[in-house]
Each structure stands twice: as structure tokens, then as C-alpha cells.
Amino acid sequence: MPLETPARIVSELASHGYNAEREAVTRIADTPDPSATLERALETLPDDALKLTTDHVESVIEPTENGEGTSNTEPDRENETTGAPTQSHPSVSTGTDAASSTEPGASAPPETGGSRDVDTSLRAIEVANDMTGQSTGTGEYSDFVAVFRDRYEKLAGKLRGRVNHRPTDATENMGGGSDAALIGMVSDIRSTASGHWLVELEDTNGTFPCLVMKDRPIADLVQQLLMDEVIAVEGTLADDAGILFVDSLYFPDVPRTHSPSTADRHVQAALISDVHVGSQEFMEDAWHRFTDWLHTSEAENVEYLLIAGDMVEGVGIYPEQDEELDIIDIYDQYRAFSEYLKEVPGDMEIRMIPGNHDAVRLAEPQPGFDEELRDIMTAHDAQVHSNPSLVTVEGVTVLMYHGVSLDEVIAELPDEEASYEEPHKAMYQLLKKRHVAPQYGGHTRLAPEDRDYLVMEEVPDVFHTGHVHKLGWGEYHNVVALNSGCWQAQTEFQKSVNIDPDAGFAPILDLDTLSMTVRKFS
């Protein structure tokens, strides 16, 4: 197996019983043939050595590997500049020229993954909310009760500071005309004969009807509601205390005072999704241009690649899909994707989550890949977490969610609040609701677990989705919301449902400023 990453080199050394200096591992990874370099280093180590040193590695590197006149030192990163824009919204630039040309005297980018001059010891990455291997749901009634109770308690906790909540059974016993407030899960929404809105709220004690008058300013908020989301209302009880006339309505929401975290050095992440290897419409040339660009000096600060699902096209996802497949077997699709992933520089950290085209269960939360798929997906030691997962990269929290629920949000809410042309606005709604898939029983399949993994317990700094194949970005209460488009040209099925994809784009996020540049490779 080729030693494509420092992590693999360390693992190989450990299997022989050796530790190593970090610089020694970096030097091996930087050589054209890390496997051969490591083999020579191990063969010439003294019998009593316990650690592989940098000096020993240098002694076995052949002159052609070291490169005449080439410095082995790390660049002064404090003085590096990338020309990245500092505005809060990304600009779009074409990556074709950078990917296909080199400076005079420079060598062409490698065709397969190789290491760049990157100090990987500076990296810090953590993952939370990954339920891979933690699934406990059996589909019993009690499982559904447990997960909805967990959702209610978590989201109600974010609303209790906004209103003086009393349980539904206590509200029923209050006197008519009293001021009252409720926190509940939306169990029904309907309009009355007079055009007012009747919203049924449910808590752990019961249900209570709430009336929003059509002439109240908050009436527009009712059109943003989805079934099963948790909200708070306050108002006045009717004379018989049988209904609450609503004056105010609150969502769990992201605080307007949210202050995002940033990295303490200049480092970037590429955020992509929906590669769809195996489809006849997979944009292979655009992918090659993207990975070639990653090997250029212009991309030297791009140290992370975050992929939000649908690595492959899958099988049997939509009617007559087999007629649009370039690779029929699902495992062969993953083998091909792994080969394409090898074109990415070997020192990049890669984190992925599955999507609805991937070979995992459709019901969310979706666990990461099983062992058979992980064995296939060996390129770069890419880590596959569950959908959704909260990935913290150098202090910046990125909520990665594939985005199947966006279809439902866009279908249910008014066009000005959510549309395919501006998918980030639908993401704003999920941030407002603090849940990535609030509505149960619709098109989004949800699985009961011991807790609700779909609640946004922590406010992310970046919300990254895919699925809808449209490029859109913006900020909501200082949270960067990005839907990253796709790498698949329009299929016949997409034509039939009027989907015109934004394909071949790679959003590049500056982790130290949260500014973004969107590069086009199609």
C-alpha cells in the first residue's frame, strides 16, 4: 500500500516497533517514493535504535530525491499571503488557468496525491455528534417517544429564557384572561374559516391550541413553521382559558450576538459535496482541474477537504438510474472514487459524511461507512463520519449535513424564505429552528435513536450542506451558510424535474477570517 500520508508512515513505523521524530516523517512524505525511502531508512537503522531521526532519514535520501538547490526548511507562514478576499461573501474565480499552467521553470503538478511542504503538526481537528457505531434504535414506539422527548427538552432549554413557560396542563387550569406562555412542539397547523391560524402545541404533559390572528405582525411567522419543530409563544388566554391568543412567537434560533471562532493561523479548507462518481455525468475533467490546482502554490494553504456527502452516484436511487450509470457496481464506484481522491495532495486532511446516494441507510442520522467500504476508501486515510457531524477544524466548528431536508423546507415554505435558486436561505430556516430535519413523516426519512442527533445543540461557525446541487452562500447571525453545488452535469432525471445544477465549483474557506472564495473548474 503506498505511503501517501504522514499518518500511514507513522503507522508503518509503529508496526516495526519504532517511533520517529516529526521532521523525519515529514521528510519521508516529501520524497517522490516514500515507501522506498522508508525501506532504506529501516534497513540501515542501528540494531539498538528505538527512534527514527531526521538526520538518519537525510542520510538515506538520494540526491535526486533531495533536489539540487532545494531547501528542506518550512516556509515562513507568518509572511505568507494568498490574495484571498476579505469580504464576508465569497467571490467566484475560474480555476482553469491556475490548474493548467505553471510558472517558468516550475514543474507540473503531480498526477497523483503527493505531499506538499505542510507542517501537519499544527493541525487540530475534533469531531462531535458522530453516531457511527452508536445506533441503538429498534423502531419500537418507545424509541420514537424517547427521541422526541430528547428533542423537546434540548430545544425547550434554549427557549426558557425567553418566556415564562408553564406546562400545558397547568395552563388549562389558569383563569380566563390571564397572561400565559407555552413552549411546545408543533403538532398541527391549520387556518380557520376567517383566515386566522390555529397552531396546536404539544409538550410532555399534553397539547394546547394557540390562535394567531391574521392581522398581527407575527402572522407571517406562521408560514415559516414546520411540523414537529419546537417554538415558544406568549399571549392571553380566552375567557374560558381554552385557547391562547398569541402576541409573540419565538424560535430557538441562533443568538444575534453569536461570535464565531477563527483559526490562529492562515489556513484554508475546501468545502465540496455531491461528487457522484459512477454517473455518466460525473465531471471528470473539472475534477482533474480542481485536484491539479490543489498542487499549485496558489493552493498551498488549503490543508483540509470537507465533503458533505454523495461521493458516488449509487444504484437504484431514482427511476431508470441504471441507464445513466457509467459504473454499475456500487463497490466499483467507491473504488473509482478512491482513485480520484488520490489526486488530492497526500498531506491534506480529508473528512467526509454520507449522503442519500451513498451505501448507508437512508434514514437520518446516517452512520459512517461500514468496514467493507472503509477498506475500499483507503486514499489519504480519509475519515468518514455520520450525517450530520460537527467537525471542528483549527477551532472553527463546521456543521456538516448532506441536506435532504432542504427539499422539504423548500417545498413547505414560501419562495421568499426558501428556494432552490438560493439554497442558503433554506439553511437559514434550519439554523433558526436549531434542527437540521425537524419535520417527521415527510420525504425526509428519520430514524429514532437514544437521542436526537439532528438538534443543533451548539451554534456552528459554518453550516455546510449539499444535496440540492445548487451553489449558494451567505451569513445568518454571523454563521456562514454554504451549499456547495456538485460535480455532476445535468442528468436526464434532473431535466425531468427542472434541476439545473451548479457544477464544478470549489468553495475555499479561510479559517482565520471565515471569508470565502468560490473557484470554478467547469
Instruction: Assess contact for 186 and 232: CB atoms under 8 A.
Output: no
DSSP secondary structure string for all residues of 443-475: SS-B---SS-TTB--S--SEEEE-SS--EEEEE
Q: Are 186 and 435 in contact (CB under 8 A)?
A: no
Give CA 14 to chain center in angstroms: 32
Q: What is the CATH number of domain 161-250?
A: 2.40.50.140
pLDDT of residue 320: 82
- Unique residue bearing C-alpha cell 466548528: 397
* CB 450 within 8 Å of CB 244: no
Mode of pairing for the β-strands spanning 389-393 and 396-400: antiparallel
Task: State how far the Cα of 12 lies from the Cα of 274, in Å rounded to an integer.
Answer: 33
Specify the pLDDT at position 443.
81
Provide the residue-wise pLDDT of the chain in tens; the chain has 522 residues: 344 456 667 667 766 666 677 678 778 888 888 888 888 888 888 766 667 888 888 888 865 444 433 333 333 333 333 333 333 445 565 554 443 333 333 334 444 566 666 666 667 889 999 999 988 878 888 888 999 999 999 999 999 999 999 999 999 888 889 999 999 999 999 999 999 999 999 999 999 999 999 999 999 999 999 999 999 999 999 998 899 999 999 999 999 999 999 999 999 999 999 999 999 999 999 999 999 999 999 999 999 999 999 999 999 888 888 889 999 999 999 999 999 999 999 999 999 999 999 999 999 999 999 989 988 887 778 899 999 999 999 999 999 999 999 999 999 999 999 999 999 999 999 999 999 999 998 888 899 898 999 999 999 999 999 999 999 999 999 999 999 999 999 988 888 878 899 999 999 999 999 999 999 999
Residues 6+ apart with CB under 8 A from 71: none
Half-sphere exposure of residue 455: CA atoms within 13 angstroms, side-chain side: 23
10 Å CB burial of residue 333 (0-12, 13-18, 19+) is: buried
> Which positions ≥6 away from 291 have C-beta within 8 Å?
340, 343, 344
Q: What is the pLDDT of residue 100?
A: 37
Question: Does residue 39 sit in helix, strand or coil?
Answer: helix
Supply the pLDDT for residue 107.
37
By the 8 A CB rule, do 261 and 396 touch?
yes
CATH class as words, domain 125-132+257-520: alpha beta
Question: Phi then psi for 152, rounded to 5 degrees?
Answer: -60, -50
Cβ atoms of residues 460 and 434 within 8 Å = no
Where do the H-state alpha helices sit in 44-167?
Answer: 54-60, 63-66, 96-100, 141-157
Question: Rg for the chain (alpha carbons), in Å?
Answer: 26
Helix-helix angle 34-43:6-15, to 10 degrees: 30
For residue 424, count other CB atoms closer than 10 A to its CB: 22
- Output phi, psi for 66, to 5 deg: -70, -35
Query: Beta 349-353 vs 383-384: how paired, if at all?
Result: parallel
CA–CA dist 297, 463 (Å, integer): 28
Dig out the grid coordinates for 334 from the structure: 467507491
Which pLDDT value is given to residue 87? 39
- pLDDT at position 74 is 37
CATH class entry, domain 3-61: mainly alpha
Kindly list the distances between the CA atom of residue 319 and the CA atoms of 151, 314, 316, 411, in Å, as whole numbers in the listed order: 35, 12, 7, 21
* Domain boundaries along the sequence of the chain: 3-61, 125-132+257-520, 161-250
**Which pLDDT score is estimated for 17?**
61
pLDDT at 139: 81
Angle at which helices 22-30 and 6-15 cross, to 10°:
120
The CA distance from 412 to 409, in Å, is 5
Q: Are 95 and 519 in contact (CB under 8 A)?
A: yes
User: Tell me, what's the pLDDT at 52?
Assistant: 81
pLDDT at 111: 47
Q: How far apart are the first and last CA of the chain?
A: 32
